[in-house]
Each structure stands twice: as C-alpha cells, then as structure tokens.
Structure 1
Amino acid sequence: MVLCAYVTFEDPHGVDDERDPVLSAWREAGIEGRVERWDDPAADWSAYDAVVVRSVWDYSLRRAEFLEWARGVESVTRLLNPGSVLESNTDKTYLRDLGVPVVPTHWSSRDLPHWPEYVVKPAISAGARDTTRTTDRDEARALAAAIEAGGRTPMVQPYLDMVEAEGETSLLYFNGRLSHAVRRVPMLAPGASEQDNARAERRTPAPDQVDLAEKVLAAVPQPLLYARIDLVRLPGGEPAVIEVELTEPYLYLRWEPQAPASFARALRELL
C-alpha cells in the first residue's frame, strides 16, 4: 500500500470539504492517505511515499516558513506539487513571465493607468485578502502605496465588468489532463463573500480557453499533480489568465463525479 500525506492547515471549522472525497478515492486506488498539518513539528514526512499539498490556506501569512517547510519535505520524500513550483506560484509576480495574455496589471503605486475602476491587492495573498475594489484613482494609488510601505509588491488591475456577465472560468487539470471546468462566483461582485469561493456551476470551456490554459501548463517543466487555471475574457472577447493556481487550489471536485477518482489516478501515475 502506498502511503501519502494529505497536507492541510489547522482547520477548526472544517472548511476543507474536499478532504474526505479525496481520501476515499485514494483508498480505492490503493493509496493510504493520512491527514497532516503542514506546520506540525511532530510530523515525520520521511515516512511517506509522497506528500501532497492541499488546503494549506494560511500559507500567505507565513510564506517564508511555508517554503522552508517545503524544502525540508522535499529533502526526504516526494512533494507534490514540487517545491520550486510552490515558491514561484505563491508570488503572483509570476504573471509577468507567463508569456500569454493576462489581465492588465500595474505593479507599482506610481503612474497608475486611468481605468474606470480598480482592483488593488498584494502579489502575495490568498482568496480576496487585502483586496479592494474602487473607482477612485487616488484611493487606488494610496492602497498600492500602503502595500509597498509594508514591503510587498502591489498589483493594480482594472475591474472587468465581463467578470460578472461571463464569469471567471476555472479549468482543473490532474497530471496534465483536463478533468472539468466551472464558472466561479466573482469574489468582488456586489454581495459576494469569502464563502462564495466554493460556489460555482459546471461549464464546458470554449476551445480558446482550453488552448490558453494548456499553453500555460506547457510552460511548466515540472510534473504537476494538480493545476487550476483561472481565466476571464477581456472587453474584446479574448481570454486572459487572471491566476494560475498550483499551490492550494480548491478543486471543485463535487462538480464532476469522476474528479476524485481522476485525482487519485493522477497521483498513482506520478508515483
């Protein structure tokens, strides 16, 4: 029996509702899964055939510690996704180097473009933490400057009305294969909340969305157990990357009945 760690965070409220379906699918695939908290000093990572990063949803508050943990794990066993992927993916400045269309982003508080509405957030964050939507250019500049003053890199983007009409499309891949796609509730839409992150509806991605997502994946040299590519359409209709989730994405497993089994099969293949 293969032994793998399912890595999470201290989760007193049980917000990770994908853990049990994943562990069940692993068992059916001949993988014994044990739940481990990434920052548990008593965990023996060398006992595992692989350590699978999943709901480490507090990493952005302790990124340096998290990356040190990842390097330590990788020195004694297989880490999925790999540590080099986690390091680059946890800082959204990776968007500058993707080489594909991305949502327009200004990386400074200076010389802000003139947009009708702004979204301001730090390059290292999770969910909508420290993210503000505003129509006031001076406020956007001040928010970005405050992020810089804290030693972080700001991201200033135009708010796209298309997000509310078309939605954000997330494509889920396991070991490079498309499993399913969903339309996600926009986090900054009026009335949205943090809990809406898990609200979505099944969607068949358009060919141009699949082409763009697979260009992104093709540029990653390391094997990826899981990947979520989040796309939006720009005002001209062309798809663009809003985020590449390779660290701790919610996988929307319940929107595709075969997704947990596909995830387990991908893990077996990589082992």
Structure 2
Amino acid sequence: MKRCAFLSMDSLAEFESYDHLLHKPLKKMGWTAEEVSWRNTNINWNQFDAVIIRSPWDYQNDPKDFLNVLENIESSTATLENSLELVKWNIDKTYLQDLQQQGIEIVPSLWYQQFEPSLLPTFFSELQSDEIVIKPTVSAAADNTFRIKHTEHSEYVQLLTNTFNDRPFLVQPFMDNIIEEGEFSVFFFGDSYSHTVLKTPKPNDFRVQEEHGGKLTPVEPEKKLLATAQKTRNNISPLPLYTRADYVRTDQNTFALMELELIEPSLYFNMDPESPKRFARVFDEWLKP
C-alpha cells in the first residue's frame, strides 16, 4: 500500500472536517491515509509517497513556519499537493490582483500595507458603499475580518489600528447577496468539475463558515457560474490537484470571485457522496509516473 499524509493541525476539535470520507475510497485505490499535524517536527516526510495539504487551519498565525514545513516536504521524496509554487502564490490575497489582470472579475478591492485612521472614511467613498469588509491579505477562517457600516466606522478606529498597524490588508464593499442568496463554492479535482455548494450565514451574521453557524446546501451551478469557475481555473498554473473557487452574485447578475482556495479549503465531501470517490480517482491518476 502507498502512504499518504493529510497535512492537518494539532487539533480539529473546534472545526468541521470531512477528510475522513476519503479514507475508504483511497484504500480501494491502494492508498493508506493518516492525519499529520504540520507542527509536528519529528515527522520524516520521506516515509510518505504523497502529502496533501488538507486542514492546517491555523497556518495564518505562523505563515513563515508553515512555508518552511512545506519546503521540507517539497525537498523530501514525497509529492506535495497542492504544490509549493501554488501555495506561495495563493497564500497572500494579492493573487486576486493577478487574476483580475487576466480578465477574472473579482469583488472590488482596495489594497493597503498599513492602516491609518484617516483612511477609514475614504474607504466608503472609494468603494461607493455604505458598508465595507476589511481583512488581512494573509488569513483563513474569517480571522480578523471586520464588517463595518459607515455610520459606525469611528467605533472601529482603535481596533483596526491594533490589528493592521503592521499588517497588509484589503477592503471590499460588503456584498448584500452574501446574506440574500449566499456564497457559491465550486470545486474541481484536477481538470474535472466535481460539485458546487451554496453557503449561507446564520441570521444576523455574514460569515458563511460552519464554525460560525453557516449552512451548506448542495446545488447545481448555473451555466454562467460554471463557465466563470472554469475560466478562473484555466488561469491557474500549474494545474492544482484541487481547486475551490468562491463566488458571489453581483447586481449585474455576474459572479465575482471572492476567494480562490488552493491551500487548505474544506472540500465539503459530505455534500456530495460521489465526491470522495472522484477525488480518490483523480489523486491516484495524478500520482502515477
């Protein structure tokens, strides 16, 4: 049997993870899989044939250490997926600028290296929005993400100063359709489409993650959404083993990219019973010489 490690974190007790659904289909393909914390310094990565980055959902607290671990894996005999090249590109949300330059519609965004209190009122006017979202360019699980109304912005000055004093961030208009309709996640394994999930926040919230009370619903994507997702995927090089692209519907009835998740996205195997089998087939073919 070939050995595969799912790169995880010390404890997933506070998170929802569905990677265990891969164990059975992978075993049928001749693979054994085990969860390994990226913080475990005693791991010999050469003992694995492959390492799949799956649920290291605390990496944003120590991104340099995380990348060092990935570099160690990359230099071992194990195959790292997604690749270190993709991770380095995707770990900072400035990748959205690259995709925008390639013709991909993204949620309108402003980019800053450091927060200055005098900037805050200008965000609303520049984005022509009464409500904005501010988040770090390196983040995960909605950490340090703030939704701010224009009428309340003065209350956030100190908090934003403390959070982004020496940390790059981006500002986007709050997209009402996140609440009114939800956020679409479209999944590809290799170059094959797999499934789509609609994520909706709980009442009086805007975060769609399950850990924050969000709801998941499997959906058939509209042709326009699927075409948009395929266009996004076609602009990624090298081709990822797994791709999750998150979209929100705009007022013009297009789909704007919110996030392109190539590092540690939940792939919501629980939402499509065939998706673990699809992943296992693609993965096994991917690792063949």
Output the TM-score relative to the length of structure 2: 0.86
Cα distance in 2, alignment partners of residues 192 and 231 from structure 1:
14
Shift of 1:135: 0.7
Question: What SS class does the counterpart of residue 107 from structure 1 fall into?
Answer: strand
1:225 aligns with 2:229: no
Say which of 241, 261, 266 aligns to 2:277.
261
- The AA in structure 1 aligned to 2:217 is E
1:102 paired residue number: 106
Cα distance in 2, alignment partners of residues 182 and 97 from structure 1:
25
Cα distance in 2, alignment partners of residues 219 and 2 from structure 1:
32
Question: What per-residue deviation string (whole Å, max 9, x for no partner) do you get for residues 104-126 of structure 1?
Answer: 11113534224110111111111
Cα distance in 1, alignment partners of residues 96 and 218 from structure 2:
26
1:60 aligns with 2:74: no
- The AA in structure 2 aligned to 1:81 is N
**Relative to structure 2, which stretch is displaced further, 31-40 or 189-198?**
189-198
Shift of 1:165: 1.7
1:211 aligns with 2:227: yes
- Preserved contact between residue 167 and residue 184 of structure 1 (Cα < 8 Å): yes
Cα distance in 1, alignment partners of residues 280 and 154 from structure 2:
49
**Relative to structure 2, which stretch is displaced further, 207-216 or 75-84?**
207-216
2:88 paired residue number: 87
- When residues 199 and 24 of structure 1 are mapped into structure 2, their CA distance, relative to the original with a 3 A threshold, is farther
Determine what percentage of the aligned residue pairs are the same residue.
30
1:135 aligns with 2:149: yes
2:140 paired residue number: 126
- When residues 57 and 44 of structure 1 are mapped into structure 2, their CA distance, relative to the original with a 3 A threshold, is same
- When residues 158 and 70 of structure 1 are mapped into structure 2, their CA distance, relative to the original with a 3 A threshold, is same
- Preserved contact between residue 201 and residue 215 of structure 2 (Cα < 8 Å): no
- Preserved contact between residue 198 and residue 252 of structure 1 (Cα < 8 Å): no
Question: What per-residue deviation string (whole Å, max 9, x for no partner) do you get for residues 25-59 of structure 1?
Answer: 21122111122111211111011111111001010
Cα distance in 2, alignment partners of residues 80 and 65 from structure 1:
18
Unaligned ranges ≥5, structure 2: none
Cα distance in 2, alignment partners of residues 97 and 141 from structure 1:
30
Question: What SS class does the counterpart of residue 92 from structure 1 fall into?
Answer: coil
Aligned Cα RMSD in Å? Answer: 2.0
- The AA in structure 2 aligned to 1:122 is P
- The AA in structure 2 aligned to 1:73 is I
- When residues 179 and 198 of structure 1 are mapped into structure 2, their CA distance, relative to the original with a 3 A threshold, is farther
1:157 paired residue number: 172
- The AA in structure 2 aligned to 1:241 is L
Unaligned ranges ≥5, structure 1: none
- The AA in structure 2 aligned to 1:105 is S
Q: After the TM superposition, which parts of structure 1 deviate over 6 Å for at least 4 consecutive aligned residues?
A: none
Shift of 1:148: 3.8
- The count of corresponding residues between Structure 1 and Structure 2 is 269
